[in-house]
């Protein structure tokens, strides 16, 4: 198989049979490789066939003999944790326990109890599991994976990309970024390269922010919209002398390219394959000092999205001033084969390894939404609060009429809000109730070490989004509050 995918499944023991259901967001990819899934599971876990299991929210499922589950589970090391990224459906509650990542093995990542809807007879304990089916291109084992594993990485799939979830101590990783410097795997992002004499004018007319003002060495944060004003993807644009680099979430790269390709007709512009990719990020108040120690030169005080070439131990990389945590931050773009050496040098200079669990908390504290988690192709850009990605005086672009209409009206019907509370972390997708009436839903939640409280992002209707409004998510009470939750220097 020339393509990889990391399959998340839901498992339910019922009538002596274990039902495995592929989570809905990967169902399309799984269906395309259905025979490989059956073959892979059958060889390792005795899968008999794929069956329809829509009642539990799964597009495809597999049946595994219960005795094999019991045999496998004895080898799984279980620890308490809060689920990240992939969770069960909104009507499922009571998360607990995770297993370590084992490449090419089935393992438990979450366990929860699903309460069936009225009239639904199926119930019981469910397990969210992962099966890595390879070999793969984007998730093939690299030298960087070896270096990360030696540092204690426990990896997991995040929207189709396998990245370190933690290095054993998420709160210590959080402290490294808030009080020192942390190095993070940036392979959850990819680049597109746009060349041609009309590249600037073309892209300027496509995305929400002003590209024409970005001279070589400058950059901008923007979004690509549909004509209905919905978000194809948010992205960063870096201007070079002969090209524009588009830095996009890895799972949106193809969607962005196809959306832009559709409008390239007579323009002198085309996509060119590039051997560069986002490799690593350095985040924290000491990030610049770490870079200076590793590269032998300080990055200075660049404006947001400024970028330049640096050399670390003979390895060239493009250093971009961009933060995903609310702290000073930099992203290194380079050749994938150089990532491991850059990691070693940054670690030797004082950066501590940081995984997705800590990053999720850090970006939530900074009020930064993630595409695929807090916004998707059905979200209006004006609902997200990403005004910094929009120029309101640049002229026409895809979706501009909708953006201008909303701006003239003065509000949207719902928007992404910050919420704080105490107690257990509510699950993503949980309905938000105001006076027992549904007023929105959660998209992300975590415990914040900075506040010592639960923080969350969620979409809330206009009648309920005033700061101080108390909403309910299950038995949890959450209060609307201004974003960000954390601001450096406060």
Contacts of 108-113 spanning 24+ positions with Cβ under 8 A: 108/73, 108/76, 108/78, 109/8, 109/83, 109/156, 110/83, 112/88
The pLDDT assigned to 474 comes to 87
Residue ranges and CATH numbers for the domains of the chain are 5-133 (no CATH), 143-188+278-363 (3.30.1360.120), 413-490 (2.40.30.110)
- The pLDDT mean for the chain works out to 78
Q: What pLDDT digit, counting tens, does each position of 413-438 carry?
A: 999 999 999 999 998 888 999 999 99
What share of the chain in percent tops pLDDT 90?
A: 61
Give residues with Cβ within 8 angstroms of 243, minimum separation 6. Answer: 193, 194, 195, 199, 272
Q: Are 160 and 250 in contact (CB under 8 A)?
A: yes
Residue 63 pairs in a beta bridge with 19
Is the pLDDT at 53 greater than 90, yes or no? no
Tell me the HSE value of 420 on the side-chain side, using a 13 A CA sphere: 16
Is residue 245 exposed (0-12), middle (13-18) or buried (19+ Cβ within 10 Å)?
buried
Decide: pTM greater than 0.85.
no
Closest to 403 in 3D by CA, of 414, 394, 392, 395: 392
Q: What is the mean pLDDT of residues 433-460?
A: 95
Is the pLDDT at 225 greater than 50, yes or no? yes
Distance of CA 392 to the CA centre of its chain: 27
Residue 100 confidence class, pLDDT cut points 50, 70, 90: very low
Pairwise CA distance, residues 258 & 207, whole Å: 14
Q: Are 20 and 9 in contact (CB under 8 A)?
A: yes
In degrees rounded to 5, what are phi and psi of residue 219? Answer: -150, 175
Is the pLDDT at 468 greater than 70, yes or no? yes
Q: Are 228 and 399 in contact (CB under 8 A)?
A: yes
DSSP assignment of 423-440 equals SSPPPTT-EEEETTEEEE
The pLDDT assigned to 263 comes to 95
The pLDDT assigned to 202 comes to 97
Q: Does the bond joining 94 to the residue before it have cis omega, within 30 degrees of 0?
A: no
Vertex 141: Cα angle to 343 and 193 (nearest 5): 70
The pLDDT assigned to 140 comes to 59
Backbone angle region of 235, left / alpha / beta, with phi > 0 → left and psi within -120 to 50 → alpha: beta
Residue 157 confidence class, pLDDT cut points 50, 70, 90: low
Give residues with Cβ within 8 angstroms of 477, minimum separation 6. Answer: 421, 470, 471
CA distances from 27 to 31, 227, 375, 467, 481 (A): 6, 27, 19, 38, 36
Give residues with Cβ within 8 angstroms of 151, minimum separation 6. Answer: 167, 347, 353
Is the pLDDT at 117 greater than 70, yes or no? no
> What CA dihedral angle connects 133, 139, 141 and 145, to 10 degrees?
-130
Helix (H, G, I), strand (E, B) or coil at 366: coil
User: Around Cβ 329, how many Cβ atoms within 10 Å?
Assistant: 23
> What CA dihedral angle connects 464, 360, 428 and 251, to 10 degrees?
110
């Amino acid at each position: 198989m020339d393509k990889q995918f990391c399959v998340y499944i839901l498992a339910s023991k019922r009538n002596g049979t274990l039902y495995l259901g592929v989570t809905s967001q990967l169902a399309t990819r799984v269906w395309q490789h259905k025979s490989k899934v059956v073959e892979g599971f059958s060889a390792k876990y005795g899968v008999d066939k794929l069956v329809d299991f829509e009642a539990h929210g799964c597009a495809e499922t597999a049946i595994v003999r219960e005795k094999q589950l019991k045999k496998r589970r004895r080898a799984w090391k279980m620890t308490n944790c809060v689920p990240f990224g992939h969770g069960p459906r909104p009507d499922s509650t009571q998360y607990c326990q995770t297993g370590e990542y084992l490449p090419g093995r089935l393992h438990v990542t979450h366990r929860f109890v699903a309460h069936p809807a009225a009239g639904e007879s199926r119930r019981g304990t469910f397990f969210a599991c992962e099966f890595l089916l390879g070999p793969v291109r984007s998730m093939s084992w690299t030298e960087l994976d070896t270096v990360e594993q030696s540092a204690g990485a426990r990896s997991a799939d995040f929207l189709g990309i396998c990245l370190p979830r933690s290095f054993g101590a998420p709160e210590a990783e959080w402290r490294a970024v808030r009080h020192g410097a942390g190095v993070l795997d940036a392979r959850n992002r990819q680049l597109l390269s746009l060349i041609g004499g009309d590249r600037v004018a073309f892209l300027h007319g496509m995305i929400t922010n002003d590209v024409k003002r970005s001279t070589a060495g400058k950059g901008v944060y923007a979004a690509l919209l549909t004509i209905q004003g919905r978000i194809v993807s948010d992205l960063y644009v870096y201007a070079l002398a002969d090209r524009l680099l588009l830095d996009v979430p890895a799972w949106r790269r193809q969607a962005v390219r196809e959306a832009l390709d559709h409008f390239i007709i007579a323009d002198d512009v085309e996509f060119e394959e590039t051997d560069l990719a986002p490799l690593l990020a350095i985040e924290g108040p000491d990030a610049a000092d770490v870079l200076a120690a590793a590269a032998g030169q300080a990055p200075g005080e660049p404006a947001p999205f400024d970028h330049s070439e640096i050399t670390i131990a003979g390895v060239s990389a493009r250093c971009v001033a961009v933060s995903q945590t609310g702290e000073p931050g930099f992203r290194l773009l380079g050749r994938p084969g150089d990532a491991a050496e850059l990691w070693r040098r940054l670690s030797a200079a004082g950066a501590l390894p940081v995984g997705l669990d800590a990053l999720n908390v850090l970006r939530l504290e900074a009020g930064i939404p993630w595409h695929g988690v807090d916004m998707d192709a059905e979200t209006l850009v004006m609902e997200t609060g990403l005004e910094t990605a929009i120029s309101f005086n640049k002229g026409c672009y895809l979706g501009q009429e909708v953006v201008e209409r909303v701006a003239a009206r003065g509000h949207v019907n719902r928007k992404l809000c910050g919420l704080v509370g105490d107690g257990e972390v509510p699950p993503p997708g949980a309905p938000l109730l105001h006076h027992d009436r549904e007023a929105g839903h959660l998209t992300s939640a975590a415990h914040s070490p900075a506040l010592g409280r639960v923080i969350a992002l969620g979409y809330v209707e206009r009648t309920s989004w005033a700061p101080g409004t108390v909403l309910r998510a299950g038995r949890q009470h959450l209060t609307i509050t201004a974003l960000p939750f954390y601001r450096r220097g406060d």
